Amino acid sequence: MSSRELHWNISGKDITVRIGDGTFHIGDQTIAFQRIDANTLDISGRRVRFHVVRNGNSYTVWLRGRTYHLQRATTSHHVETVAAATGEIAALMPGKLLRLEVAVGDTVSEKQTVAIMESMKMESALQAPKAGRIAEIRCRPGDVVDMGEVIMVID
């Protein structure tokens, strides 16, 4: 039996998970699963659709109508430092920009929601990687954007 250990930071808490041949271990819990196709799992006899989008060392997972944002724990500081240094706020997934919560010239705080996107009929908030002033907005509500496309820049 082969297994893979992964270290994630979820909501500021470091979590270790182990994925083996058909099992997922988190803490003292073991969940059996079987992969049906690229976006479907069988978990305890129930078919569950999921979608995963990777952006560097972070992942956005849509599962059972919920959105989960996962960050690799071992490299999360580096990723946050790069985003804060550039001040760029990029789309986490391909989708539609629903609304902007800020305008050019507005002052924002770190982790403040600055825009809302929709992908696969689910909404996700884009947050400021650092405190500062909105220097540039490159997209408008209604625009369809690609994953990684820069939506706005903070000075």
For the record, the structure tokens of 15 come out as 């979590």
List strand residue ranges (DSSP E) for 11-131, in order: 13-20, 23-26, 29-37, 40-43, 46-55, 58-63, 66-72, 88-90, 95-100, 107-108, 113-119, 122-127
Residue range(s) defining the domain that contains residue 57 = 3-72
pLDDT at residue 120 tops 50: yes
**68 and 92 inside one domain:** no
Say what the pLDDT of residue 82 is. 43
Q: Kindly state whether residues 8 and 53 are assigned to the same domain.
A: yes
| Mean pLDDT, rounded, for 146-151 | 84
In a domain, residue 81? The reply is no
Number of domains present in the structure of the chain: 2
- The tens digit of pLDDT for each residue in 14-56 reads 777 777 777 877 777 888 888 888 888 888 888 988 888 877 7
If you average pLDDT over every residue of the chain, what do you get? 81
Question: Per the domain annotation, does 93 fall within a domain?
Answer: yes
pTM across the whole model: 0.49
127 falls within a domain: yes
Q: What is the CATH number of the domain that holds 141?
A: 2.40.50.100
Q: pLDDT value at position 60? A: 82
Does residue 80 sit within a domain? no
In a domain, 79, yes or no: no
